[in-house]
Amino acid sequence: MIRRNRPARRSVDEAGAEQAVAGGVRLQRVLAAAGVASRRAAEDLIASGRVAVNGEVVRTLPVFVTPGVDRIAIDGRPLARQAVKAEGNDGRLSAARGLYIMLYKPERVMSTTFDEGGRRTVMDLVDHPAIRGETPVGLGGDAGRVFPVGRLDFHTAGLVLLTNDGALTHRLTHPSFGVTKTYEVTVRGSVADADARKLEDTLAHAHRKASRRGGKRSRAERPIALRVAGQHQGKTVLEIELAETGERPLSDLLHEAELKVVKILRTKLGPLELSHLPVGGWRELERDELWALRDAAGLGRKKPKPRPTPDGSRPAGGSPARRPKPSARRGPRAPRPRSTDA
């Protein structure tokens, strides 16, 4: 059933993601989450009459659909009903089949999906079927549109995560969730204590501005962590861990602190560490890496509740189990025997 009017607004925190999806989701959001196109491009597809819902071509927005129930087709090709899922309690949608790729981005490469100036992007370095488009995007169970998580400066090398998981991307990039990024920065000369304090103040100021812009305070226990990792041949290597710097790249903040930067390398994203990759190489995440990353973002697997033991004792690692209630009701109490004393 196509709904053209917005459904009654409900609190996502109270109703949960399932209720948000049940109440109807904008058609362009579903297409974007399934990997058909970006949300803006999906709106153009709808306006051009290339999208049908339950056999009816739609051209006018807004249109609300129920993922998994309504039949959606693009250019006559059906979208898999299970291509989109809701995740978390914020009503966000993600592709049902998750794809997670770690890339060792070289310098002078854009961390975007497209560059109008013709410069190389991270998408040019990953030779994956979901990125090459050899399988139907979002149709018949493909991984869907893959995009880089956050941004990395044009002249900065290091770890970039590519995924189609919108819920995870939101939590990794929003400052309120406090997922940190770690950088290895090489600068010329030695770094005095005064220089380190000035850099910490610059990074802390940028972090506070980014947190205010996001509307929520960062959960990171240590938004800024800086230490000298080593010195060699007139150069100093700094290890910087921070949660968010806003729209300003780290290189600008380092120059503002009057440091002569030689190289910036992102080595970690939360618990995910750049490893087993040459410059420009890529690989899919291992299962343990993925779950550690999801745990850091607050999207870990739900642990099964321990089953109660027959004797009602405390299960291992859980709360004490309740004793089972008797199935039969108690009968009337027997009268107390009278005293026989004379």
List the catalytic residues: 153
Please tell me whether residue 169 adopts helix, strand or coil conformation.
helix
* Tokens (6 digits) for 12: 């996502």
H/E stretch holding 46: helix 39-47
HEC-encoded secondary structure of 283-305: EECCHHHHHHHHHHCCCCCCCCC
| Residues 214, 173: Cα–Cα separation, whole Å | 10
| Residues 185, 227: Cα–Cα separation, whole Å | 11
| Residues 291, 302: Cα–Cα separation, whole Å | 11
| CA 166 centroid distance within chain | 6
Q: Give the residue among 162, 186, 182, 184 at the shortest CA–CA distance from 268.
A: 182
- Amino acid 206 reads A
E strands, 243-338, are 261-269, 272-273, 282-284
